[in-house]
Structure 1
Amino acid sequence: MTNAVRIGNASGFYGDRLTAVHEMLEGGHLDYLTGDYLAELTMLILGRDRLKDPSRGYAKTFLRQMETSLGLAVDKGVKIVVNAGGLNPHGLAVALRELSEKLSVDAQIAFVNGDDLQPRAAELGLGTPITANAYLGGFGIKSALDRGADVVVTGRVTDASLTVGAAASAFGWGYKDLDAIAGAIVAGHIIECGTQATGGNYSFFKEIPMGRLGFPIAEVAADGSSVITKHEGTGGAVTVGTVTAQLLYEIQGPRYYNPDATALLDTIEVTQEGPDRVGVSGIRGEAPPSELKVSLNHLAGIRNQIDVVLTGLDIEDKAALFQEQFEAALPTSPAELTWELSRLDRPDADTEEQASALLRCVARDTDPNAVGRAFSATAVELALASYPGFTLTAPPGNGAPYGVFVPGYVDAGVVEHRVTQPDGVSVLIEPSPMRTEPTRDVSVPDSGPIGDWGPTRRAPIGEIVGARSGDKGGSANIGVWVRSDDEFAWLDQTLTVDRIKELLPEIAALTVHRYRLPKIRALNFVIEGVLGRGVAENVRFDPQAKGLGEWLRSRVVDVPERFGR
């Protein structure tokens, strides 16, 4: 690709590989290096940090990474763009300036803020959350880079905005360049989760040279098309499959709303252009929505949990006995008390662990006394007075605060998207004049009658179908894809809303939306409310729905013999 900029990404979450920034800078040529440190749960964690100390609230690991990499980035002319500022981008910018002076590195630091709406939450109709952050676009980043910033730190921008800002600065895009911006949004979405684009969390992982995976790079062209790749010699692989999997991660319908444009995911074309080089093109863009999404986190109360082990015979009777005894002995009944029996046991097992099941009790209440020391003591006191073989997986604690995430929406015009340039000048970024009421995607429950696919065999659907799942607040998505047009025709007819509810009985009573992305041979299912009020509430065994897609892949269906693997 000619006339393209190379935008790498070295972080997919707060806690990703600490050495990745240095590895990406040393591994080959880059023009920009991004890092995504924020998630819904991360904002809650940073919010609790800020409650303890107002000077905190940013990703401290990024500052540690810059201790060894800031000078290298400046020497190589690589511009760094990260959302590690979290709830305190100004504080992180000050710390970076102090670090650059300490290292004698002439680095120009800028920061983007204005996303923090918590002080204005009540007047904006957002309640009284501990964090309230609007998802900003990429044009504040563009402004900072245009003015010569070497490092741009932001608060809560959309994950893809890191790439959008870099590409918009490189090519001089304006708000009217909707197709180009949409292309950069897609490229940013592909690389935002780091090594998930190079083989991490990939259904067909046995086809990938796993190990120490390399981080992804998007070579973005002036028209917004891109090639996804990685540094030569790094682990993993970049294939149509790994890119498709990441495209399906945490999305909803074909329209992917962002503050600067709406990317139409059903227009994407993905092609293998060479080893570890996947072309992404054809993306069309529409006007962005008139409102910005707001990440709202509320402290909801105190949560406590006990896990008891049930071994051998009469598992369900033992579970019922303990539940009855425990609830009767509790001095105070918590507001919420949920039980979950996980039958991990098997008959006539060769090991004690294989003969055991787990019974989990989770309590939630706004009163710490209802779920604290007395709750834990009640479980311990039953140790010699309940079912045979009683044991706990760990001593119970005194409970801990938990929060819940809910999305909010405000008109983009009420948010002061602001960038403070390296020279200290603060500039207000006007929202896109293109914004409009968005077109809402319509769920398609099925694709008509099933055709004749010839002889079939009983097999896990995952033999031919890949999946990627994740959380979106209290909902979850499962994106599924196949590798040929014939397979997609079968998948499209077979995997209806009713069928996925049959295969995953836990979601049978929930609302499920089904969306088609035929150009990448994929379907996306959005399951409302399966995660309660979000990951922090921790209502499921898998609170972020990371394994939901793999559970689906393990379910046995009638697979046409012509699709043998």
Structure 2
Amino acid sequence: MAGPIRIAGFSGYLGDRRSALDEAIAGDPVDVLIGDYLAEFTLAMLSARYRNDPSRGYVEYFLEQLRPHLATIAERGTRVVVNAGGFNPSGLAEATRQLVTEAGADLAVAHVEGDNVLARLDQLQAAGHDLASMDTGEPLSSWRARPVAANAYLGGWGIATALRAGADIVVCGRVTDASLTVGPAAWWHDWQRTDFDQLAAAVVAGHIIECGPHATGGNFSGFAEIPGMVAPGFPIAEIGADGTTIITKHSADGGAVTVDTVTAQLVYEIQGPRYLNPDVTAHLDSVRLRQVEPDRVELSGTTGSAPPPTTKVALFAPIGHQIVTTLYATGLDIDAKVALIREQAAALLAAPEAELDVSALGTPAEDPQRQWESTVQVRVMATAAEREPLQRLVTGIGELYLSSIPGFFTDTAARQAPTPSTRIDYWPALLALSTVDHVVVLQDGSRIDVGGPALTEKAVQPEHPEPAGFEPRTTRRVPLGRVAHARAGDKGGNSNVGLWVSDPEAWPWLRSLLTTDELRRLMPEAKDLEIVRHEFPNLRAVHFVLRGLLGTGGSSNLRVDPIGKAVGEFLRARHVEVPQHLLG
């Protein structure tokens, strides 16, 4: 088709604001609307619904988002692509067809399936696929848990195939987040499977818009300078035939698109310069960004290579139970007060196999003017194989008012967890792409086997040596965030964080400052972890992967920030020596 394709997002995760599709329909014209609903933990939650009721297992509120706009979508010829199918894409596709019929709209609905490999786990292992953990290298057979969800990440060619076959709405399960963009771009421009540079550009564009307002000021360390932050808008990617892309947004919506807001999303939840996808390996270190107009950032120079021979499989399993309760400590001797609460909680739990974490959040002011300036929250979290010790703990905490620290209180208006909840563990594995079914089911029930890539290549992250020192004449000790932005995220048990500077003059200093040893100093919690460091000169960014910071994943660790979203902001608060000339 002539000209670039305009792809607009309207969901970045399960639970994102429900009005986003309304906003996109009312916004600037686009060719394709995409909705991303699945995070690593979401499928496990949806699978529970599916097990209880086989007619469910998908994101049900997508139907309510879609219902009012079916006639408009049909009239405009807009395509809609979502991964809201979750554990049951065929069920959501059928429910969508019912909505279309009720609305009298002329829209064809297709779905993509094959990602769910749960029923094939024994067969795959018997055939020699050990589904080893990407974190530990141990085979799946060593995992004592029984998986309740196992979904392989599919690429974008199923989506492209469905669109080429005439589908107006394409429902997917666990495709990669970027595939929601890659598929429509490949369809629009009639790309081939070996057009790796173009496919890589679409992967990068998809990565940027997949998290919605992340690219327009949401979760951005420079948020104070972004207009309309009460409701930042959703982004749009304009992707040309050669892969050159403009990231923009609906003109009437809040937020902004700048080189820094785009950089923030580029370094989010990556594992290094090589960004692996089932369709292509994108080389993120080749990407160049340029502000061409207000709210229009150009992405160019992206290169790609053949995809890896494997794709990721996300497995989840229940491994016991957990509970969290909170109380407060005020005034003097906070450390001693928290220590007593910890001892009392441990005595109440009285289960050798259980895990207990008691953390004080915050630091009281030296001379407080208000009670809350001298108060910290004390979070008590525990896990155990059985529910009984945890129930004993939460009941016992409620009996400590007369026998614990001075000033003991809880927020009685806030709902505390009354009973333990199921604890879910995560197992990331790799599976040969050749073993994964990738099938499109069209409106009439006909099935198209998409197949795998003809050419694959094992990707290896480049190694970047530690930098030499930087000796400025005069420095001032200030928070790192006075000169640097940061964005942190998660991939299973690993936390990643990218730090970058807007000022080109600050780049030599930043890259020399942020050595692996310096990161260990800035973040003592990570001092004993394996840390991988990379540089992105085009972005003026240093990127770290903190292996194991999040345990085995956000669904099962005991951290207060379980998926590491605030790691970057913590690092920006640390004080470092900054060259005086960079501080203005």
Instruction: Give me the TM-score of the superposition, normalised by structure 1.
Output: 0.96
Task: Pick closer, same or farther for the CA change 1:279–1:346 going to 2, 3 Å.
Answer: same
Residue 121 of structure 2 is aligned to residue 121 of structure 1: yes
What is the aligned partner in structure 1 of residue 134 from structure 2? none
Conserved in 1, the CA contact under 8 Å of 2:470 and 2:513?
no
Which residues in structure 2 correspond to 1:33-182 (within 5 Å)? 33-125=33-125, 126=131, 127=140, 128-182=146-200
Could you give the per-residue CA deviations for residues 486-530 of structure 1, whole angstroms, max 9, x where no partner exists? 211111111111111111111112111111111111111111111
Aligned twin of 2:574: 555
Contact 1:121 1:129 in 2 (8 A): no
Task: After superposing the two structures, state which structure 1 stretch, 126-135 or 497-506, moved more.
Answer: 126-135
Contact persistence 2:348–2:393 (CA under 8 A): no
Alpha-carbon deviation of 1:343?
A: 4.2
Which of 304, 316, 320 is the matching residue for 1:285? 304
Aligned residue for 2:123, secondary structure, equals coil
Match for residue 438 of structure 2?
417
- 1:433 and 2:454 equivalent? yes
Which residue of 383, 389, 393 corresponds with 1:375? 393
Aligned to 2:341, the other structure's residue is in SS state helix
- Residue 191 of structure 1: CA displacement? 0.6
- Contact residue 345 and residue 393 of structure 2 kept, 8 A: no
Question: 2:286: which partner in 1?
Answer: 267
Which shifted more, 222-231 or 323-332?
323-332
Amino acid of the structure 1 residue aligned with 2:150? A
Instruction: Output the amino acid matched with 1:6.
Output: R
Query: Aligned ranges for residues 224-239 of structure 1 at < 5 Å?
Result: 224-239=243-258
The answer (yes or no) to whether the contact 1:239–1:272 under 8 Å persists in 2 is: yes
Q: 1:446 aligns with which of 463, 466, 483?
A: 466
Gaps spanning 5+ residues in structure 1: where?
Answer: none
Instruction: Letter of the 2:76 partner, please give it.
Output: K
Count of paired positions: 561
Partner of 1:457: 476
How far apart, CA to CA, are the structure 1 residues paired with 2:367 and 2:28?
A: 56
Contact 1:293 1:408 in 2 (8 A): yes
**How far 1:73 sits from its partner (Å)?**
1.1
Contact 1:510–1:527 (Cα < 8 Å) also in 2: yes
Question: In structure 2, what is the Cα distance between the partners aligned to 1:192 and 1:369?
Answer: 41
- Is contact 1:142–1:168 with CA below 8 Å preserved after alignment? yes
TM-score for both structures, normalised by structure 2: 0.93
Distance 2:449 2:510 in 1: 48
1:334 offset after TM fit, Å?
Answer: 5.0
Deviations, residues 47-98 of structure 1 (Å, cap 9, x unaligned): 2222222211111121111111222111111101111111110000000001
- Closer, same or farther: CA 331–554 of 1 in aligned 2, 3 Å: closer
Q: Is the 8 A contact 2:9 2:34 kept in 1?
A: yes
Q: Tell me the secondary structure at the aligned position of residue 398 of structure 2.
A: helix
Distance in 1, Cα, partners of 2:345 & 2:88: 45
For residues 244-275 of structure 1, the C-alpha deviation after alignment (integer angstroms, 9 at most, x for no partner) is 11101101110000000000000001111111
Note the alpha carbon deviations across 1:26-50, whole angstroms, 9 max, x for none.
2121111111110012112212222
CA distance in 1, matches of 2:348, 2:425: 29
1:446/1:492 contact within 8 Å kept: no
Instruction: State the one-letter code of the partner of 2:40.
Output: E
Cα distance in 2, alignment partners of residues 201 and 326 from structure 1: 35
- Name the SS of the counterpart of 1:10 in structure 2: strand
2:580 alignment partner AA: E
Matches within 5 A, 1:196-275: 196-209=214-227, 210-275=229-294
Q: For residue 511 of structure 1, what is the aligned residue in structure 2? A: 530
Residue identity (%): 43
Question: Cα–Cα, structure 1 residues 24 and 306, in superposed 2: closer, same or farther, change >3 Å?
Answer: closer
- Unpaired stretches in structure 2, ≥5 consecutive residues: 126-130, 132-139, 141-145
Equivalent residues of 2:346, 2:356 under 8 A apart: no
1:123 and 1:365, CA in 2 relative to 1: closer, same or farther beyond 3 A? farther
| 2-structure distance, mates of 1:155, 1:330 | 40
Q: Which residue in the other structure is 2:143 paired with? A: none
Measure how far apart 1:137 and its partner are.
Answer: 0.3
Secondary structure class of the residue paired with 1:54: coil
Aligned runs of 1:478-517 on 2, under 5 Å? 478-517=497-536
Distance 1:511 1:311, change over 3 A: same
Distance 1:169 1:479 in 2: 33
Shift of 1:340: 1.9
Contact 1:13 1:193 in 2 (8 A): yes
Q: Is the partner of 2:246 in helix, strand or coil?
A: strand
What CA deviation, in whole Å up to 9, does each residue of 1:466-490 have, x standing for no partner?
Answer: 1111111111111111123321111
What do the CA deviations read for 1:267-309 (whole angstroms, capped 9, x no partner)?
0011111111111011110110000101111112110123232
For 2:211 and 2:307, locate their aligned partners in 1 and report how far apart those are by CA, in whole Å: 23
1:21 and 1:356 map into 2 onto residues whose CA distance is: 41
Alignment of 1:331-370 (within 5 A): 332-333=351-352, 335-370=354-389
Number of the residue aligned with 2:137: none
3-state SS of paired residue (1:211): coil
SS of the counterpart of 1:122? helix
Residue 542 (structure 1) aligned with residue 555 (structure 2): no
Structure 2 match to 1:530: 549
> Are the counterparts in 2 of residues 334 and 363 from structure 1 also a CA contact under 8 Å?
no
Describe the shift of the 1:310–1:133 C-alpha distance in structure 2 as closer, same or farther (beyond 3 A): same
Equivalent residues of 1:344, 1:358 under 8 A apart: no
Cα RMSD (Å) = 1.6
Counterpart CA distance in 1 for 2:465 and 2:174 is 34
Shift of 1:432: 0.5
